[in-house]
Amino acid sequence: MNTFTRWLRKKWILYIFLCIPVFYVFVPISQYDTEYLADPAKYLLEYVGKAATILFVIVSCITPLKLLFPKVSLVNVLVFHRRQIGVSVFVYAMLHLVIYYFYTGTWEIFIEDWKKLFILSGILALVLLLVLTATSNNWSVKKLGAKRWKQIHRLSYLIMLLLIFHQAAQEKTGYRETAIYFAPLIILQSFRLVKIGMKKAKD
């Protein structure tokens, strides 16, 4: 392990990385960005939602990356930090929900909105993220057994589909922008499936 990789494995470096969306939000605010000034709550809602999505894509890319490039040290750094990155997805998604509550203003509108399909998909994704976050510890792996734990964590594929729908169903974002966010994950998963298929064909 070289010095750079050893440095990247430090927890405080990871926490700085995970806080980048928090630091970056001050940039448009300080620059009086018109999009931010027009509707600050909406801006923050979308911004935090995007941060959660990007972190979700990063954490979901780790398994295919590990399978495709097992010897690359940067990939092993990501494997090392996988749990914390996963937890950060949930934290940003929760923040997104809290901002959404303040954005709607009242409980009535907040609950009424849940009838919309794209909101429902976000809620379902958040509930499933809670399940994954709550079981992302050694105690849960031991209690559930490796096989059941793995089955539960396959829920991340369902979360991916729900998030794609949640983002793409919004008029402003649409499927094209959503595809850009999820492209790295879809490409890596496709290569992973090809590699698994080739290995099975050989055996």
Which of 9/110 has CB closer to ligand HEM?
110
Binding-residue total with ligand HEM (CB under 6 A): 25
Which of 52/65 has CB closer to ligand HEM?
52
Chosen residue from 166, 168, 185, 188 binding ligand HEM by CB under 6 A: 166
Chosen residue from 14, 52, 132, 164 binding ligand HEM by CB under 6 A: 52
How many residues are given for the chain?
203
Which of 21/122 has CB closer to ligand HEM?
122
| Contact range with ligand HEM by CB under 6 A, out of 18-26, 78-86, 121-129, 133-141 | 121-129
| Contact range with ligand HEM by CB under 6 A, out of 7-15, 40-48, 65-73, 80-88 | 40-48
Tell whether residue 132 is a contact of ligand HEM (CB under 6 A). no
Residue of 76, 62, 27, 39 whose CA lies nearest to 136: 62
**Whole-angstrom distance, CA of residue 7 vs CA of residue 162:** 35
Q: What residues make contact with ligand HEM under the rule CB under 6 A? A: 42, 45-46, 49-50, 52-53, 56, 89, 93, 96-97, 100, 119, 122-123, 125-126, 129, 163, 166-167, 170, 172-173
